[in-house]
Amino acid sequence: MSLISPACRDALQHWLDSLGALSGRSENTLNAYRGDVTEFLSFMTLHHNERQGLAALERITVSDMRAWMADQRNSDVGARSLARKLSAVKTFYRWLAEREGFEPTAVLSTRAPKFTKKLPRPLAEDAARAMIDTVEMQSSSDWVAARDVAVVTLLYGCGLRISEALSLTGADAPLPDTLRISGKGDKERIVPVLPTARSAVDRYVRLCPHPKSADAALFRGVRGGPLNPGIIQAVVAKARMQLGLPATATPHAMRHSFATHLLSAGGDLRAIQELLGHASLSTTQTYTAVDTARLMEVYNRTHPKA
C-alpha cells in the first residue's frame, strides 16, 4: 500500500501538471520534483505513524522539518542534494498553501544547508583547441572521426549542451548562420554558428555513410541509429588522458570554455546568458567568478609586489 494518501497523491500530480503547463519545466525536472516530494511525504507518514492527508500536511511543524532534515543527513544525503530536495518541498508547499488556504511558515522558514557552489572548470584556450584535434585521432574511421569533431566543435564553438547538439536533425544541415535551439524547459534561443562549426558538420555529412533524412538524427551511431551521448563522453575521456588534462575536461566543460573564453574576450554577460540559454543571470554570473579567479591567479603570480 502506498505511504501517501490519495488526496496528497492527487495534489502532487496537480502541482506537477501546473508546473509543466505554466513554467515549462522539463520532464527530467518534474520527475526529480516528484521523487523529492514523494520521499518527503513518505517520511512524514512514517514519522507520524499514519498516512498524511492534506489536513495533516497543514499541521507540519518546525520540529517535523528538523526530523526530516536529520533523517536525510543520517542517510548520507549531501548538502547540495538536501538543498535541492528542500527547494522542491518548499515549492510544492507554497502552491498547496495558496490552494488550500493555510499558513506554510514551518516549511518555508526551514533553512537549507550551506554548501560551496562548484565553479565551472573550463579548459584553457589552447587546451580546448587541442581537445578537438585529439578527438579526431580517436577513430580509424574517417567519418566517425569527422562526426566526433563536429559534435565537440558545436559544444565549444556554439556553447551547446551535448543533448542539444545530438538533437539536431538532417533538416538542420547544412547549418545556417544561426540555429534555433530548444534547451532546458523548452526555452528557445538563437545561437550564431561559426564557420568552423559549419565546416566541421559539412565534412561529417559528406563522409557519413548513412543517408541524411530531414526527420532523423543528424549525428548517427555506427549502425545508423541516433548517436548515444556516451560515445562522445568516452571519446573526450580518451582524448583528455592523452593530453594529460584533469577529469573535469568533459564534453560539458567545452560549453563552459565557450562561455569563459567569450567573457575573457570582453563578451557582455547578458549576451552570454542568451547564448547559453540560462533562465537566470545568476547562473551565468558563475563565469565571472571563474574569470576573476583566473585574473587573481595571474595577478598574484606576476605583480611586482605580490
- Residues marked active site are found at 161, 184, 252, 255, 278, 287
Contact status, residue 262 vs residue 93, Cβ threshold 8 Å? no
d(CA 40, CA 60): 12
3-state DSSP: the chain helix, strand, coil percent, rounded to 5?
65, 5, 30
Contact status, residue 221 vs residue 231, Cβ threshold 8 Å? yes
Other C-beta atoms lying within 10 Å of the C-beta of residue 23: 10
Shortest CA distance to 131 belongs to which of 99, 162, 155? 155
Q: What is the rounded radius of gyration, in angstroms, for the C-alpha atoms of the chain? A: 24
175: left (phi over 0), alpha (psi -120 to 50) or beta: beta
Nine cell digits for residue 132: 578537438
The string of DSSP letters for 113-176 reads PP-PPPPP-PPPHHHHHHHHHHHGGG-SSHHHHHHHHHHHHHHHHH---HHHHHT-BGGG-S--
Distances (CA, A) of 68 to 46, 47, 71, 241, 269: 11, 9, 5, 43, 39
Q: At what angle do helices 269-276 and 286-302 cross, to 10 degrees?
A: 130
